C-alpha cells in the first residue's frame, strides 16, 4: 500500500493495493472479527455493501467478509459467476471459460469518468450516469454491469426493465435494480453506451 500511495507515509505489512482500484486488508490473526484499515485519499466503497468510507476505519473482518474496498470510479471486469475452470474440459457438465467466455461481468463503483481495457481489447468506460461497452476479440457476447451504490433510475436508455436478476441474466439485454449494496443497478448490453 505504501508503494502505491507514498503520500500516506506508512507501509502496512498486512494491507495492500490490488491494482489502482482495490484495497485489500486480509485477516491475519486467529479469531479476528474486525480490523483497522487505512484507505488512501478519496472515497472508497465497501465491496460487500457499497457503503462509502474514507481515512482509517474499523472494518468487519469475519470469516465471510474480507475487508475489500473499491475506489470511486473503479471498473472491475470479472468472469461470469458460473465459471468453474479456465482449463479446457471434455464434459459439458463443467462450465469452462476455455469452452465459452460468455458474457463479461463488470462491477462499477460510480465516480469520476474512467475506462478500462481488457486483455482482448474489450473497452469498458463509466462516467456519472453512463456506462459503455465495446467488445474485443474474446468477450463478444455482451457485458453485465453491476453498478453499486446507485439509486433506482426511472429508465436505463431504451433498455427494458426486467422483473429479476435471473430474468435479466437470461435476456439478451435490459436492466434490473435491487436495494442490495446501497442500491445495485444491473445493466446488460450487447454494445455501446447506456445512460441511466
| C-alpha span between 112 and 78 (Å, rounded) | 21
Q: How many CB atoms lie within 10 A of CB 177?
A: 20
pLDDT of residue 180: 80
Q: What is the largest CA-CA distance in the chain?
A: 52
- Residue 83 sits at the vertex; the CA angle it makes with 157 and 179, to the nearest 5 degrees, is 40
Can you give the pLDDT at residue 109? 97
Q: What is the DSSP string of 112-126?
A: S-EEEE-TTS-EEEE
What's the confidence (pLDDT) of residue 63? 83
State the Rg of the chain over Cα.
18
Locate 33 and state its grid cell: 472479527
Q: What is the pLDDT of residue 181?
A: 76
What whole-number distance in Å separates Cα of residue 125 and Cα of residue 132?
5
pTM of the model: 0.93
Q: Is the dihedral of CA 146, 151, 156, 161 positive or negative?
A: positive
How far is the C-alpha of 92 from the C-alpha of 68, rounded, in Å? 34
Grouped pLDDT means (10 residues each) for the chain, 196 residues? 91 92 93 94 95 96 91 97 95 94 97 98 98 98 97 97 97 95 94 96
Dihedrals phi, psi of 7, to nearest 5 degrees: -65, -20
Which residues share a beta bridge with 156?
Answer: none
| Interior angle at CA 126, CA 40 and CA 120, nearest 5 | 95
Amino acid at each position: 500500500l505504501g508503494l502505491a500511495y507514498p503520500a500516506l507515509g506508512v507501509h502496512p505489512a498486512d494491507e495492500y493495493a490490488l491494482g489502482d482500484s482495490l484495497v485489500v486488508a486480509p485477516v491475519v490473526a486467529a479469531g479476528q472479527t474486525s480490523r483497522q484499515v487505512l484507505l488512501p485519499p478519496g472515497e472508497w466503497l465497501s465491496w460487500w455493501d457499497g457503503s462509502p468510507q474514507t481515512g482509517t476505519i474499523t472494518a468487519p473482518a469475519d470469516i465471510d467478509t474480507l475487508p475489500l474496498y473499491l475506489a470511486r470510479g473503479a471498473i472491475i471486469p470479472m468472469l461470469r459467476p458460473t465459471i468453474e475452470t479456465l482449463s479446457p474440459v471434455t464434459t459439458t457438465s463443467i462450465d469452462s471459460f476455455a469452452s465459452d467466455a460468455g458474457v463479461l461481468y463488470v462491477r462499477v463503483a460510480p465516480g469520476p469518468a474512467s475506462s478500462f481495457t481488457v486483455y482482448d481489447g474489450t473497452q469498458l468506460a463509466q462516467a456519472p450516469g453512463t456506462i459503455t461497452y465495446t467488445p474485443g476479440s474474446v468477450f463478444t457476447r455482451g457485458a453485465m454491469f453491476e453498478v453499486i451504490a446507485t439509486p433506482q433510475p426511472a429508465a436505463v436508455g431504451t433498455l427494458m426493465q426486467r422483473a429479476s436478476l435471473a430474468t435479466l441474466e437470461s435476456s439478451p439485454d435490459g436492466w434490473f435494480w435491487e436495494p442490495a449494496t446501497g442500491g445495485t443497478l444491473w445493466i446488460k448490453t450487447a454494445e455501446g453506451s447506456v445512460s441511466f
